Structure 1
């Protein structure tokens, strides 16, 4: 099958997580760079990557890469790329761009030159002077970094965080991709209880349910490349059939989402229903100070309010202190995974994290604090005859 070069774009700090996901799909020719993971695979990887990647922002098809310090170089080398191998005669092919630390710093000029070069390339193949651009969408990006131009076509359409289940959202929501990354980084296993005491619109519990039953995050949405004539429909049919074959609907889960706001919990329940996992999550109104559980060795994963959200650091620091005291007293065998922008979080929480990881929640710089609880005891081994 035809080989393609793909780029899974990633939020800063999540590149290694995305790379793990790519390798788990069976693609091992992988390069990890800032903000992206590059890999070479067969044509079916376009469908499978879009359907399965939980933490990537989108999947781009790499058409070419070259050094360009003049507009002539950008034009001629873009024109020489095999655009007609992908872009159909009736296609719409807008161009977007970005430039970082490059001689060609005018993004609008670079976009115009790339557009012109692609048109000239397509003219040679299709023997026409004008393109109506009313067919399938091929959104081209020219990305310049230190004078190296990378030309790609977006295969996803709306970002991969748009799973299709979240309509109404709360204030400053956590993206689905970030929620999934938090769960994957925690190494949570489906046989352990998971709780989010600030569940809001339900993103973390819902993503946990999808992960726990191995439900592909893109199962219930469409992708722009599904309309590309160059990708046989059989590839998408087989890739979607695989998502159903690999789902573990029989896997039992214990996932709890609590919040102090009744109205947002209604949204959470509605979102869980849209995702098809409402029977796997128990949502309950509860203040964080009232968190209790008889279960041992659970996982608590949450995105509590930041100072940016509440506007008062004193109120936030008091909340974090209440969290620390409640969790220590009531969930003493649990592991805690908490994301926040508060650089003094450990001081307020009353405990030093086992590990922390720098991330970005939207444009907010945050740390992912990981507090490891004790490991559960191993089941006793009974000798034969006892």
Structure 2
């Protein structure tokens, strides 16, 4: 393995790159680069493991092997072949190549994939001095991405996307990704000493992610990563990173987290998912409509992904729901409210202009994250 620092890239959905960058900085990294759809640092194999285990809002972690201009297939082949691929790929590596091309002269993705594959084989032949590679060993998923005639070659270290935490085996028909849920919670600035409520909990993603954040539980502690099988990342590295995560978890942190849903099947599903990850005793799930919400608590944070036209329900049902939400919730003047919605008239229907609005993408649906800020809790000693 090459001892030079690795360029490690955390990919992110459009609009949440800054959130991922903040996560990376909170892990102690200072030299952080933010670009469209990705956040990058230079680091070691240990950093690959830490980022996979700890990042909540990122999609996956990749190693960027090289980036260079490529305006012809010959140039793509020769520049790829010149990379010392044996530094990354053992002789028995399985290395499929995927690809994408945007605004580039080399627009045929299948051709680019085939050329990169052939070039990697040629590079490996020189090192390993064999003509045939069985590819029956550990998996190294390689991507060639062309953007404006620049080719970037990377290797995925995560395997399944980072949103797959290992607790949600079943979900509703319009699930919110765990990574997006975590980003939504980060944007609320919620702290574990405040009540947290999701009145549209579905399969329980927002409450479960809040509980994990509240107790500082690493989101990747309950799953495996493809790079755990790579021979040049010592098993001891993964063991140490997981031990560190276990030591940093605060399982004694009390939490006040609730999830409600009008569908009793979703409530049962949420309970099952929370139980799967060992958090069922920390979260209260209940069948209830949002218009029936009542509380005597103060300074709570209510976060929801309510139904919207493209996702669920008719427009008339959605409009009536938003009006009910406003009538019910706005009486709680110490609470803060956050909703991921695509309806253009949400603020008018809800009955208040948002303190802040942020564009986010829920899958392929363009949405707005409406943020209604309440007052901060009074500190002890305040009059």
TM-score (norm 2): 0.98
Give SS of 1:5's match: strand
1:74-107 residue CA offsets vs partner (Å, 9 max, x unmatched): 0000111121101110010000000000111100
Question: For 1:141 and 1:222, how far apart are their aligned partners in 2?
Answer: 21
Partner of 1:28: 30
Decide which moves more: 17-26 or 111-120.
17-26
User: Could you tell me which residue of structure 2 aligns to residue 363 of structure 1?
Assistant: 364
SS of the aligned residue for 1:172 comes to coil
- Equivalent in the alignment of 1:263: 265
Q: 1:318-343 CA distances to partner (integer Å, 9 max, x unpaired)?
A: 100100110012x2210001001112
1:189 aligns with 2:191: yes
Are positions 1:71 and 2:108 aligned together? no
* Displacement after TM superposition at 1:25 (Å): 1.4
> Which whole-Å deviations, capped at 9, do the CAs of 1:17-75 have from their partners, x for residues lacking one?
01111111122221111111121112201100000000000000110000000001100
Partner of 1:153 in structure 2? Answer: 155
For 1:1-386, list aligned pairs within 5 A: 3-329=5-331, 331-380=332-381
State the alpha-carbon separation in 2 of the partners of residues 103 and 309 from structure 1: 37
RMSD: 1.1
Task: Give the 3 Å change call, closer, same or farther, for CA 381–312 of structure 1 in structure 2.
Answer: closer
2:228 and 2:145 mapped to 1: Cα distance? 24
SS at match of 1:207: helix
Decide whether aligned partners of structure 1 residues 267 and 30 sit closer, same or farther in structure 2, where only a CA change above 3 A counts.
same
SS at match of 2:281: helix
When residues 359 and 294 of structure 1 are mapped into structure 2, their CA distance, relative to the original with a 3 A threshold, is same
Distance (whole Å) between structure 1 residues aligned to residue 185 and residue 94 of structure 2: 38
SS of 1:47 mapped into structure 2: helix
* Matched positions, count: 381
Residue ranges of structure 2 left out of the alignment (5+ in a row) = none
State the secondary structure of the residue aligned to 1:308: coil
- Checking the alignment, whether the CA contact within 8 Å between 2:307 and 2:313 is kept in structure 1 is no
* 1:381–1:303 distance in 2 versus 1, CA, 3 Å: closer
Instruction: Assess if the C-alpha contact under 8 Å between 2:267 and 2:287 holds in 1.
Output: yes
| 1:167-218 residue CA offsets vs partner (Å, 9 max, x unmatched) | 1110110000000000011110000000000001100000000000000000
| Mapped contact 1:2–1:43 kept (Cα < 8 A) | no
Equivalent pair of 1:8/1:38 in contact (CA under 8 Å): yes
Runs of 4+, deviation exceeding 3 Å: none
* 3-state SS, counterpart of residue 97 of structure 1: strand
Unaligned runs of 5+ in 1: none
Secondary structure in 2 aligned to 1:59? Answer: strand
In 2, are the aligned partners of 1:63 and 1:82 still within 8 Å (CA)?
A: no
Q: Deviations over 1:307-360 (max 9, x none)?
A: 11234212101100100110012x221000100111211111110000011000
Instruction: Describe the SS at the equivalent of 1:279.
Output: coil
1:134-162 CA-to-partner distances (Å, cap 9, x unmatched) read 10000000000011111000000000000
**Counterpart Cα distance in 1 of 2:23 and 2:82:** 33
Normalising by the residue count of structure 1, what TM-score does the alignment of the two structures yield?
0.97
